[in-house]
A and B are shown apart, each in its own frame.
Chain A
Amino acid sequence: EAAVTQSPRNKVAVTGGKVTLSCNQTNNHNNMYWYRQDTGHGLRLIHYSYGAGSTEKGDIPDGYKASRPSQENFSLILELATPSQTSVYFCASGGLDYAEQFFGPGTRLTVL
Chain B
Amino acid sequence: GQQVQQSPASLVLQEGENAELQCNFSTSLNSMQWFYQRPGGSLVSLFYNPSGTKHSGRLTSTTVIKERRSSLHISSSQTTDSGTYLCAFMATGGNNKLTFGQGTVLSVIP
> Is B56's beta carbon under 8 Å from chain A?
no
Known: A45-B97, A45-B98. A90 touches B90 (CB 8 A): no
**Interface of A (DSSP majority class):** strand
Question: Which residues of A, 64-105, contact B by the 8 Å Cβ criterion?
Answer: 90, 92, 94, 96-105
Determine if A101 and B98 form an interchain contact, defined as CB atoms under 8 angstroms apart.
yes
Inter-chain contact count A-B, CB under 8 Å?
A: 55
Q: Would you give the shortest CB distance from A11 to chain B, in whole angstroms?
A: 15
Q: Give chain A residues whose Cβ lies under 8 Å from the Cβ of B30.
A: 98
Determine if A103 and B90 form an interchain contact, defined as CB atoms under 8 angstroms apart.
no
Determine if B96 and A103 form an interchain contact, defined as CB atoms under 8 angstroms apart.
no
Interface size of A as a range: 20 to 34
How distant is the Cα of A90 from the Cα of B35 in the complex, in angstroms? 13
Q: Would you give the shortest CB distance from A34 to chain B, in whole angstroms?
A: 11
Show the binding face of A for B, using Cβ within 8 Å.
31, 33, 35, 42-45, 48, 56, 58-59, 90, 92, 94, 96-106
30 residue pairs A–B, Cβ–Cβ below 8 Å: A31-B96, A33-B97, A35-B98, A42-B86, A42-B100, A42-B101, A42-B103, A43-B86, A43-B98, A44-B100, A45-B97, A48-B97, A59-B97, A90-B42, A90-B43, A96-B96, A97-B96, A98-B50, A98-B96, A99-B48, A99-B96, A100-B45, A100-B48, A101-B33, A102-B45, A103-B44, A103-B45, A105-B41, A105-B42, A106-B42
